[in-house]
Amino acid sequence: MSATDLFSRGLSRMREMVANATAKPREPSEKILERIRQQLHECAEGRGGEISTRQRAARLAETYLGLDDGGRRAVLRMIALEFGPDPAQVATAHKAYQAAVGSERQWDAEAQLRAAMRSRRIRILTQFNAIPQGVKFLVDLRADLLRYLPEEPLLKPLDRELEARLTAWFDVGFLELTRITWHSPAVLLEKLVEYEAVHEIRSWNDLKNRLDTDRRCYAFFHPRMPLEPLIFVEVALLEQLADNVQQLLDEHAPVQDTRRADTAIFYSISNTQAGLRGISFGNFLLKRVVEDLQRDFPKLKCFATLSPLPGLVRWAGRHPEELASALTPADWKKLAAAGVEGPDSPRLGALLEGKAEWQDDPALARALKEPLLRVAAHYLLHTAGDSRPVDPVARFHLGNGARVERLNWMADSSAKGLAQSWGLMVNYLYAPDRIESNLEAYASEGRIDASPAVRRQARR
């Protein structure tokens, strides 16, 4: 199969996934549900030996995967509601435990109480571990759960149990850091195309450029999912902070001499498994990558990101007063010269709606530069009621000990970049000697480390 065919197959798979997700769900017949209920009871009771367990779990997984969205939702609802702990057994065990407290029977009574509270849902879920691809099956099953939860709150107990189980199975101590190169298995390269969530991989040449000698790509893998990256980061080796993602991703740009590189730019970090939401690997991934890069390139002194602000325009549209308060009298003079006559101007309204026509007017773009930088700085440092930024990317990096280093004007001039953040991007700096103190200050006090320049921009 040619490289072009492989790339096309990856895109076709993504289109198929979207089509399946949007298909109208149907409930399975009562006969099918009864058969599945019987399979679930067999799993919950744990009949037979290891071979029987494997066969039973494999049949159940095959049945589940053959259902459409409505069928899967019905099965998960059944597991959640019909296979929880037995309330009568819990009450009896709790009464026995209370009576045994302080006696030599206390610890046996505690063990019996714990056994009574152990949900049969867990017994069912754990059995999938015994089959090939069983861990991946459970990760995908939780992705289904998370999609259904908004309309099916009764699924929450099942989700909590499965999340706890996956958190233990995906402890960072079990994960393997692997560098992905152009010579990695084709199926793995295809996964990069499919999972890239920040800057779409547009072609096979684009992917090859991101894996060139002046680039690095690292991913965490679980031993039971060897060709499924859990999270991956793309890195560019440069001689200075990057301030424009189009230049960074330019396939025709000359390859950098890595012997002169002193800066590593993390320009894309993508979580790949929707079913592992709430289980964080990012902090450990970046620390391990920094260690690996320092070993291979001792001259590297600066580790930073070039990151999007994905919620900026949406937030500004909900809070138009923020743009108004960022505009000084000098700004209004420049805007008037560019044809914006006041706060009710349709051109400012279009700006808050994410419409991008303004960037084609050089005078208007120049007049908006400083006000929009001020809005962005305020958005990063002061916008959430819990003293944390509302921006999800900012929360991720600040929660990992980074510093807000610099805002970059017109750093992403793509349609997506203009619509979500007026083309602005931010550098988060990972200074090895400040990461731990920043992390602790942010976690305990919500204190954000930011450069003096960004703090000045955020002042009103």
Q: Catalytic residue numbers? A: 307, 397
Q: Residue 268's closest CA among 203, 219, 340?
A: 219
* Contact between 252 and 290 (Cβ < 8 Å): no
| Whole-number Å distance between alpha carbons of 222 and 201 | 24
Residues near 302 by Cβ (< 8 Å), separated by ≥ 6?
Answer: 241, 262, 263, 264, 429
The region, left, alpha or beta by phi > 0 then psi within -120 to 50, assigned to residue 262 is alpha
- Report CA 323 to chain centroid distance, whole Å: 29
Residues near 332 by Cβ (< 8 Å), separated by ≥ 6?
Answer: none
Task: Look up residue 434 and give its DSSP letter.
Answer: T
* Contact between 218 and 178 (Cβ < 8 Å): yes
How many Cβ atoms sit within 10 Å of the Cβ of residue 336? 13
The region, left, alpha or beta by phi > 0 then psi within -120 to 50, assigned to residue 193 is alpha
How many Cβ atoms sit within 10 Å of the Cβ of residue 290? 18
| Whole-number Å distance between alpha carbons of 58 and 51 | 11
The CA–CA distances, whole Å, from 57 to 37, 164, 450 equal 13, 20, 52
| Whole-number Å distance between alpha carbons of 125 and 53 | 12
* Contact between 331 and 372 (Cβ < 8 Å): no
* Contact between 416 and 422 (Cβ < 8 Å): no
Residues near 248 by Cβ (< 8 Å), separated by ≥ 6?
Answer: 236, 242, 265, 267, 306
How many Cβ atoms sit within 10 Å of the Cβ of residue 26? 12
| Whole-number Å distance between alpha carbons of 147 and 181 | 33
Helix (H) or strand (E) holding 346: helix 346-352
* Contact between 283 and 243 (Cβ < 8 Å): no
